């Protein structure tokens, strides 16, 4: 198989605990890029927190941000953006307030926390994704159930069933897989020509969609079950070691 794209999740995949990139990871990402493979970063992070990663790699790479709500070209041009309709922003705000759940709003204009007074001044911004969080798992679960019942948003739950640690709320139909599919269509790349790396629940559909889905050794079992291959742990430069293996097999 000739691989034409490598899609890389960041936290728990390419980056270590401090947000740094190991030398082995950086080396093989650059080698893949220089060989003509399109490398795209695909993350739940806001674009503002992804740009420094690209700068550390010293490459120009396309980026899919906020779990697929935005896609940016390698030259920094916005390709697509999906935002939460105002009625859904209101629902998230109301349910979070009623269940004493805090949230972090990922807007096109920046990131804002619900526990900071200046946040309310940003209500007219373009909301991409909302991260719900609370130490009270029951309250977070109740907020999740009410949002799920609306059938108007995509929900990604992290943690054990019935005991969410946090929840991503984003526009209906969005996700890493759908954004990656749109980007590949524009580039003339087929899903079977893509290798995708990930470690968490927001990566599952992307791993299933790609021709080669690679789950990190540190990923939960349900993420590993969605993959074709298991990479070494992210703290063992699992991305770099797996890219090396894939490129060597392709050239054999």
Which one has a higher pLDDT value, 94 or 115? 94
pLDDT tens-digit series, residues 144-155 = 999 999 999 999
Which one has a higher pLDDT value, 179 or 93? 179
Q: What does the pLDDT average to over 9-20?
A: 96
CA 85 to chain centre: 21
Distance CA 95, CA 170 (A): 15
Give the chain's domain count. 2
Task: Please give the pLDDT value at position 121.
Answer: 52
Domain boundary among 171, 203, 238: 171
Of the pLDDT bands very low, low, confident and very high (cuts 50, 70, 90), residue 219 is: very high
pTM for this prediction: 0.95
Is residue 96 within 8 Å of 31, Cβ to Cβ?
A: no
Are residues 40 and 57 located together in one domain of the fold? yes
Q: Cβ contacts of residue 69 below 8 Å, gap of 6+?
A: 81, 82, 83, 106, 128, 129, 170, 171, 174, 179
Q: What does the pLDDT average to over 74-82?
A: 97
Q: What does the pLDDT average to over 123-145?
A: 91
Are residues 96 and 166 located together in one domain of the fold? yes
Looking at residue 138, which CATH number applies to its domain? 3.30.1240.10
């Amino acid at each position: 198989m000739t691989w034409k794209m490598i899609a890389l999740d960041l936290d728990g995949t390419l980056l270590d605990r401090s947000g740094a990139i190991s030398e082995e990871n950086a080396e093989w990402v650059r080698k893949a890029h220089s060989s003509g493979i399109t490398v795209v970063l695909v993350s739940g992070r806001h674009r503002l927190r992804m740009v420094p990663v690209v700068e550390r790699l010293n490459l120009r790479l396309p980026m899919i941000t906020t779990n697929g709500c935005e896609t940016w070209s390698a030259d920094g041009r916005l390709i697509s953006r999906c935002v939460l309709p105002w009625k859904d922003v209101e629902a998230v705000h109301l349910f979070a307030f009623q269940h004493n759940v805090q949230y972090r709003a990922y807007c096109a204009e920046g990131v804002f926390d619900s526990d900071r007074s200046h946040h309310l001044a940003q209500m007219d911004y373009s909301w991409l994704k909302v991260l719900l969080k609370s130490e009270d798992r029951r309250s977070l679960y109740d907020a999740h159930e009410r949002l799920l019942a609306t059938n108007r948003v995509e929900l990604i739950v992290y943690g054990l069933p019935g005991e969410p640690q946090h929840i991503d709320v984003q526009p209906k139909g969005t996700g890493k897989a759908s954004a990656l599919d749109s980007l590949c269509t524009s580039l003339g790349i087929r899903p079977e020509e893509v290798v995708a790396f990930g470690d968490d629940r927001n990566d599952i559909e992307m791993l299933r969609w790609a021709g080669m889905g690679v789950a990190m050794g540190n990923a939960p079992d349900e993420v590993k079950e969605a993959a074709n291959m298991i990479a070494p742990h992210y703290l063992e430069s699992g991305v770099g070691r797996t890219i090396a293996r894939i490129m060597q097999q392709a050239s054999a």
